[in-house]
Structure 1
Amino acid sequence: MPETIYLTHILFLLAAAVLTVPIFQRLGLGSMLGYLSAGAIIGPWGFGFINQVEEIRHIAEFGVVFLLFIIGIELNFTRLLAMKRMVLGLGLSQLIATGSILAGLALLLGMPKDTAIIIGFGFALSSTAFGLQTLTEKNELGSVTGRTSFSILLLQDLAVVPLLTLVSFLAHDISIAGSGGLAFLQGFLVIAAVILAGRFILTPALRLVAASHNAEVFIAAAVLVVLGTAWLMESVGLSMALGAFLAGLILADSHYRHQIVADIQPFRGLLLGLFFMSVGMSVDFSLLIQKPLLIAGLVGTLLMVKIIVILCVCKIARINNGTSIRVSMLLSQSGEFGFVLFGLAVTVGLMDMALFQMLTLIIAMSMVSAPFMAIAGEHIERRLRKRKKQTSFDGNITQPKGEHFIILVGFGRVGKRVAKILDAGSVPYLALDNDPHLVTKGQADGFPVIYGDASRYDVLNAMGAARASAIVVTIDKVMVVERLVHIIRSRYPKTPIYARGRDKDHCEKLHKAGATIPVSETLEASLKLGGAALAVSGVSDKEAANLIDEFREVYYETLSGS
């Protein structure tokens, strides 16, 4: 009988997702709102097909775990350390400011001091699942919006453990509070042990599993790594999501990272969808019907406070207006860890069940608003970009004379080498980069490089792109290059575009986006190595050159489809 009930629940969940999510995506509202609506329809306050919301939510939390693992594996420790200023600056400022303001408002509404503190900081935590999923769907994790949002969300995840400990202290639970220092020491030791095990044990273990050539066993090993690390973190009072993120960071430089990501993605997608559905199921429509104005006012106040605080923090960090507004609206909701924090407060007696249900409803409704806020933020950012005639680039650009000059987009190592080659050939050019440090250094070295954003028409137009003989894109960021090529091609349909590609798959995407010739890094490196190998093997220079030219010609012909 129980097995039949579980099977029925699974069927209802799958059917609701399959029927609802494609409709919302077709309407341009995103998959998350579709999952939320599906959960509300089949949940206890909809048709009542599923009533065990807590059981569903506990399982669905693994979606957030797998999401953090994927994010971690796409980063690495070097990139994370480079973000420490944003994480500690933006994240900590937002958490303290938002938590303090919301706690003050709770005090004004008559809440006891301890309860008000818990409410303030519980609401200050945004939804990691919503924020990262939205950015992932739009391929914007590497953008300024993505890095800023991720920095704030990461600090919030790191703050979950201290906040849970704070709840225990406020409840005067001597057995827990007295061991707070020991818990932190245990957490530190476990994290150190996980990092050491990952460096010296995990990769050899995965090598042995891969050697078995059994795909199912490798998938099981990948899931074991994620869940095992998450369990270790939870056993010492840390969050499972943080443990999964740490596991991802450890494997970020592994040879098996791409296969692991491919194996984990289906679990992440299904469980994350289930998480969003569980949020939709948890909306108590009876309480919403009884006190609609109160709930609407509280949710509106929460959203407004978080938007204002995050906007101010971003502006202090000198982030542009459009990005600041978009990040503040993207992270304006409260998140999944609020459920955990308030649940612990009920357990230790700092909050009664009626207040807990009210706070849970506010979190759920703020999460329901999240897709709409994200869409609105993106729309506002787009409008600001169109309206504002920024002059962050040098408006008094001295364009090269004549019709035959090159525009060079990106002035990193590759861009600078191309510039030197053009100089050697006495070919006029003008370089562009959005990194002030590279621009300053390039100008000091005598190169004609200016600061600006190549995705903006006014910048390219001021550089004389309409009469350039070619535009060369040397940026090494995969998604950024593809987007730039598409934008440049749409504005200058007849101008040749030569773009730097990562590999053959990336070059094919660049060709479809409009690149005249995408140049593969891996191909050119392999041709150089192959040529050296031919030379040392006694093949004549002429024959080796012919072989390499033939190989190159066939390679690029496959891209153009000829």
Structure 2
Amino acid sequence: MHSALELTLLLLGAAVLGVVIFRMLHLPPMLGYLAVGILIGPHGFGMASDNQTTHALAEFGVVFLMFSIGLEFSLPKLVAMRRTVFGLGMAQVLCTIGAAMVFGWLTAALLPQMVDISWRAAFALGGALAMSSTAIVSKMLTERLELETPHGRQIIGILLFQDLAVVPLLILVPALAKDSSNLPATLAWAGFKAAIVLLLLLVIGQKLMRNWFHIVVKRRSQELFMLNLLLITLGAAWITSAPACRS
């Protein structure tokens, strides 16, 4: 069993090596990260075992991944592109989830001995397949000078809706895993929590954080700015992981 420091060094070293190799092959660095994770993970060579330390590091990774997605999110851009976001973007997410649920139903009906997938599992699978990385895709569009092209704007609109859909999905999927005897009430409560979280993040959170960061920036301290970023990022993760948000 590795210590937290040893596991961190292992992951960083493997990530650097993977990115270097994939860069030499003229492939995206993200493929290097994925390949490294598969190889050193518990289902590969087992260098990073499935334990509490690994889970803690994974949670930190998810937190900062969501933070990087938040950096790409812009409320004014969302308003300006509302037709694309709530038209094309919503259609993409709903169609993907719907296709996954239909596929799950068909496979369970045609191959009952081989496939046993519930509609809840199919919904979760569809939600996962409907998501993509805003940071990665927008970077690729920028590198190809396609960000301001018509198809580039449509892609960004879809990505913006996916960013919005992440929060409800993260709340709805755990709710679906609970006892089905009181499913409507559970889903209603999950939907209410999702609406509250979005309201806090998009309306109240932006105003408060904008004013607070203006105060921080006036101090002209890079250390203070970085500490505030860490505090707010990890604090938001801690608040949303509270029992009231998860139950």
Deviation at 1:220, TM superposition (A): 0.9
Q: Partner of 1:152 in structure 2?
A: 158
What letter is aligned with 1:127?
S
One-letter amino acid matched to 1:59? F
Tell me which of 200, 205, 208 is aligned to 2:215.
Answer: 208
TM-score w.r.t. the length of structure 1 is: 0.36
Matched AA of 1:226: T
Q: Secondary structure at the match of 1:46?
A: coil
Which has a greater percent of strand? 1
Amino acid at match of 1:118: F
Q: Deviations over 1:82-125 (max 9, x none)?
A: 21111111122222222222222212222465346425533542
Give structure 1 regions of 4+ aligned residues with deviation exceeding 6 angstroms: none
Could you state the TM-score of these two structures normalised by the residue count of structure 2?
A: 0.74
1:23/1:34 contact within 8 Å kept: yes
Q: Which residue matches 1:551? A: none
Question: 1:58 is aligned with what amino acid?
Answer: E
Q: 1:102 to 1:153 in 2, by over 3 A?
A: same
Matched, 1:132 2:140: no
Distance of 1:183 and 1:116 partners within structure 2 = 17
Partner of 1:101: 99
Q: Deviations over 1:277-314 (max 9, x none)?
A: xxxxxxxxxxxxxxxxxxxxxxxxxxxxxxxxxxxxxx
How far apart are 1:193 and its partner, in Å? 4.6
Gaps of at least 5 residues in structure 2 are 109-115
Looking at structure 1, the residues matched to 105 and 139 of structure 2 have their Cα atoms a distance apart, in angstroms, of 38
Separation of aligned partners in 2, 1:80 and 1:117 = 29
Residue aligning to 2:71: 70
Q: 1:70 to 1:45 in 2, by over 3 A?
A: same
Q: Which consecutive unaligned segments of at least 5 residues does structure 1 have?
A: 239-343, 345-562
Listed one character per residue, the Cα deviations across residues 165-208 of structure 1 (whole Å, up to 9, x for unaligned) are: 3663584253x752544554454445445523532x43443333
- The amino acid that maps onto 2:8 is I
Q: Which residue of 2 aligns with 1:451?
A: none
List aligned pairs for 1:308-387, cutoff 5 A: none
User: In the aligned structure 2, how far is the partner of 1:33 from the partner of 1:91?
Assistant: 25
Partner SS state of residue 28, structure 1: coil
2:127 alignment partner in structure 1: 122
SS state of the match for residue 85, structure 2?
helix
- CA-to-aligned-CA distance 1:330-365 (integer Å, 9 cap, x gap): xxxxxxxxxxxxxx9xxxxxxxxxxxxxxxxxxxxx
Aligned to 1:60: 61
2-side partners of 1:123 and 1:98: how far apart?
9
Aligned length: 230
Residue correspondence of structure 1 range 99-248 to structure 2 within 5 A:
99-110=97-108, 111=116, 114-115=119-120, 117-118=122-123, 121-128=126-133, 132-139=135-142, 140-163=146-169, 164-165=171-172, 168=175, 171-172=179-180, 174=182, 177-178=184-185, 180-194=187-201, 195-196=203-204, 198-199=206-207, 201-232=208-239, 237=245
Instruction: Give the structure with higher Rg (CA).
Output: 1
Contact 2:21 2:32 in 1 (8 A): yes
Q: Within 1, Cα distance between the matches of 2:38 and 2:159?
A: 26
Q: Contact 2:41/2:48 (CA < 8 Å) preserved in 1? A: yes
Q: How does 1:294-313 map to 2 (within 5 A)?
A: none
Alpha carbons of 1:208 and 1:135: their partners in 2 closer, same or farther (altered >3 Å)? closer
Instruction: Indicate whether 1:30 and 2:24 are aligned.
Output: no
> Does the Cα contact within 8 Å between 1:91 and 1:155 map onto a contact in 2?
yes
- After TM superposition, give the deviation of residue 150 of structure 1 in Å: 3.0
Structure 2 residue aligned with 1:8: 6
Task: Compute the displacement of 1:143 (Å).
Answer: 4.0
In the alignment, which residue of structure 1 is the partner of 2:112? none
Q: Distance in 2 between matches of 1:179 and 1:37?
A: 38
Q: Quickly say closer, same or farther: Cα 1:226–1:148, change in 2 above 3 A.
A: farther
2: distance between equivalents of 1:226 and 1:51? Answer: 27
Going from structure 1 to structure 2, the CA distance change for 1:173 and 1:230 (only over 3 Å counts) comes to farther
For the structure 1 residues 127 and 54, does the alpha-carbon distance in structure 2 shift closer, same or farther, using more than 3 Å as the test? farther
Partner-residue secondary structure (3-state), 1:158: helix
- Tell me what 2:85 maps to: 87
- State the SS of the aligned residue for 1:59: helix
2: distance between equivalents of 1:14 and 1:29? 19
Give the drift of 1:229. Answer: 4.0
Distance 2:168 2:220 in 1: 43
Contact (CA 8 Å) 2:167, 2:194: kept in 1 or not?
no
Cα distance change, pair 206–54 in 1 and its aligned pair in 2 (3 A)? closer
CA-to-partner distance for each residue in 1:263-287, whole Å, 9 max, x for gaps? Answer: xxxxxxxxxxxxxxxxxxxxxxxxx
Q: Contact between 1:25 and 1:31, CA under 8 Å: does it hold in 2?
A: yes
RMSD: 3.4
Given the superposition, is the C-alpha separation of residues 126 and 186 from structure 1 closer, same or farther in structure 2, using an over 3 Å criterion? closer
Whichever structure has more helix as a proportion of its residues is: 2
Q: Would the aligned equivalents of 1:126 and 1:156 in 2 still touch at CA under 8 Å? A: yes
Q: Measured at CA, do residues 83 and 227 of structure 1 come closer, stay the same or move farther in structure 2, by a change above 3 Å? A: farther
> What residue is the counterpart of 1:21 in the other structure?
19
Query: Do the aligned partners of residues 46 and 112 (structure 1) sit closer, same or farther apart at CA in structure 2, a change above 3 Å counting?
Result: closer
Equivalent positions of 1:385-424 (< 5 A) are none
